[in-house]
Amino acid sequence: MNTIDRVHHEILLHSQRNARWSYNNPPLAQLPRDLATLYRPDPGWPWVEWDWDQLELRIVACLSRDATMLEVFAKGWDIHFMTACAVFGLDLPSQLKDPVHAEENAEWRRVMKWLTCNHLYGVCGKDDIRRTKGAKGLGHGISYGLTERGAANLPGARVLGLSGKDVQRAFRNISAMFPGRAAWQDRLVEEALRVGETRTWAGRRRRYLDRGKGNYLRGEILDQPAQAGAQDLSNEVFLEVAETFGADVIYKFGKHDSQIWGIRESEWDRITPQIRTLVTRPRMIDGVEMTFPASFKERRL
């Protein structure tokens, strides 16, 4: 006789310095993709999952007022994809809105041997190693205080066949693309070292008792407005979903910039379109209106 074990995991709200939630016993957020089907919805409670696109970078764009970043997001372009093309010297395709899925980019993807999507098995072109370990890893590293010297030692560089000089060159190119972000980072670190704290767009504070100089502290200072700011927005949406739909929804767990909710099946057609609208609606971040697109998945028993 087959039995189904129910998972009662722990959600820790205050275990990480950057305010991210942790999921323990078992650590659901660390589950490998090929084991994702181990956890299934309850009968009558299908899941809806969303994953925000470039959530942290969009918040940084608002805080820094970087003109290039704001333009990229206003036009709906994939910033990680564009950065990957710059890092690896690839010509940009004709369509920069969701370029890994756009039909007009099919020949470009073939020539560049871009990862082919197979969404049935959880494979997406966004997971091409050049975008994830190359552009995304390097871009996020710069956002969190990565130095040119440190960039040469990125773990993904060897996997991608990039030399230290290649990565340092890419580092300089990416930094030059977003001068407003670089200037904002310098101002943020200077202010944090002076007053001993930083705050997110929503006012969440982090204090720095050790104000000694060093790249580690610089990285911690730059990390908070982006990481904790992303969690602030995630918290805001969490509360909106819970308060709007009440007993017809149940929060399951999340993975970094994603959330997974169970929806009462009889209310599925009513609730899921409203959730999509709520999750992706424009929001004001530090006085700048920003859109927050997301990728959605549905999962049934």
Instruction: Tell me what pLDDT residue 150 has.
Output: 73
* pTM confidence score: 0.86
pLDDT at 163 > cutoff 70: yes
* pLDDT tens-place string over residues 67-113: 999 999 999 999 989 888 888 888 999 999 899 999 999 999 999 99
Instruction: Tell me what pLDDT residue 1 has.
Output: 40
* pLDDT tens-place string over residues 234-289: 999 999 999 999 999 999 998 889 999 999 999 999 999 999 999 999 999 999 99
Question: If DSSP states are collapsed to H, E and C, what string results for the chain?
Answer: CCCCCCCCCEEECCCCCCCCCEEECCCHHHCCHHHHHHCCCCCCCCEEEEEECCHHHHHHHHHHCCHHHHHHHHCCCCHHHHHHHHHHCCCCCCCCCCCCCCHHHHHHHHHCCCCCCEHHHCECHHHCHHHHHHHHHHHHHHHCCCCHHHHCCCHHHHHCCCCHHHHHHHHHHHHHHCHHHHHHHHHHHHHHHHHCEEECCCCCEEECCCCCCCHHHHHHHHHHHHHHHHHHHHHHHHHHHHHHHHHHEEEEEECCCEEEEEECHHHHHHHHHHHHHHHHCCEEECCEEECCCEEEEEECC
